[in-house]
Amino acid sequence: MRSLICLILTLILPLAGLPTAASADTVPIHAPSAILMDVATGTVLYEKNADERREPASVTKVMTLLLVMEALDAGQISWDDTVTASAAAAGKGGSQIFLEEGEQLSMDEMLKSVVVSSANDCATALAEHVAGSETAFVGRMNARAAELGMENTHFVNCTGLDDEPEAQEHLTTARDVAIMSRALLGHDAIRRYTTIWMDTVRGGAFGLSNTNKLIRFYEGATGLKTGYTSRAGHCLSASAKRDGIELIAVILGDDSSSHRFEDAKALLNWGFANYALADPLEGVAPTPIPVILGTAESIVPAPADSGPILIEKGQAGTLRRELSLVESVEAPVEAGQVLGTLRVTSGDALLAEVPLTAVEAIPRLTFAQIWLRALLGLVQ
């Protein structure tokens, strides 16, 4: 029960006092739907119609890539795999590298082609490699979306192509795109691809150029994915990192390619200008707490959540950290047991309240161990 309480505190308390998302009039943009999210904390800094369901076009491939990366991490597929193009993969339209049925490429080249050039044929080949068929893979996409809390998303394919009748039900939101984009950025290996500007596959015979122009023209750009169809409009999930803070700007349904990049830059610039990350533990060193009748005489508490907190830049010089610990604790001590609290404030605002917990269990001394200690004390 104590571990469950600790988990709840860990998930909820660090959110206290976080910045409130700005509205559309704060940063005027062209797109009908947009959001700005901090990667480290998941805090939404700006939103405009962020829960309006819209077609995502090739931004869909963020989820496709997430499932591929998770399959690689789980050992279900390997970086050493060769991926074979089926007839279905080779027959995909839209952006592609023109795979032939039966053609084989390395996992590296397949991923590179999807990330850099948004290749629908390679995305389909990877989906089939992971799940056996695109249909089975799409089932996994929707299941993973539900797990991530993407409440307004439904996928019908792994590419975002919307020229089939059933694709009318292929919908998501700016908020949900930001959620899956954040999950994808949790896989550091994907950044090897999302930051490529130009490259080649097939031994240099086929050139790739990144559809995300921010990779070349925006300082700190780290990704992530563009999309366009006539129905969806111009879409983008753009990520960038400066001074230790990484942000995701999602744009859906913009009226031109240039506008989607300008909108994303405006959101990112606003976010970097106004927000920063702070270490809640900076300058804080919890002291050992005596353990009464325990097999260890003391325990040093550790934060249940050691992640950074998001602050407005103007708060940086006003942060106060207040440590509150129990004077002692009686054994047995359970792993995860709350032993104190770290409060981070700025003026009257509570920015974070982080539980400090026992990192390991300390059993209670047995009757025999107590007598042995007493005896040894007499001898000494």
Q: Where are the domains of the chain?
A: 2-10+280-379, 31-275
Per-residue pLDDT of the chain (380 residues; tens, 9 = 90+): 333 333 333 333 444 455 677 766 789 899 999 999 999 999 999 999 999 999 999 999 999 999 999 999 999 999 999 999 999 999 999 999 999 999 999 999 999 999 999 999 999 999 999 999 999 999 999 999 999 999 999 999 999 999 888 888 999 999 999 999 999 999 999 999 999 999 999 999 999 999 999 999 999 999 999 999 999 999 999 999 999 999 999 999 999 999 999 999 999 999 999 999 999 888 888 899 999 999 999 999 999 877 889 999 988 889 999 999 999 999 999 999 999 999 999 998 899 899 999 999 999 999 888 888 777 765 54
Look at the alpha carbons of 126, 128, 131, 132 in this order and tell me if their dihedral is positive or negative.
Answer: negative
User: Do 275 and 38 touch, CB atoms closer than 8 A?
Assistant: yes
- Is the peptide bond prior to 332 cis by the omega test (within 30 degrees of 0)? yes
Are 2-10+280-379 and 31-275 in the same CATH fold?
no
Active site residues: 58, 61, 118
Amino acid at 299: I
Q: Considering only the top CATH level, what class is 2-10+280-379?
A: mainly beta
In which region does residue 316 sit, left (phi positive, over 0), alpha (psi from -120 to 50) or beta (all else)? alpha
Residue 15: the pLDDT is 42
Residue 278 three-state SS: strand
Residue 7: the pLDDT is 37
Enumerate residues 6+ apart whose C-beta is below 8 A from 126.
Answer: 64, 68, 83, 110, 111, 114, 158
Domain 31-275 falls under CATH 3.40.50.261: no
* pTM reported for the whole predicted model: 0.87
Residue 146 three-state SS: helix
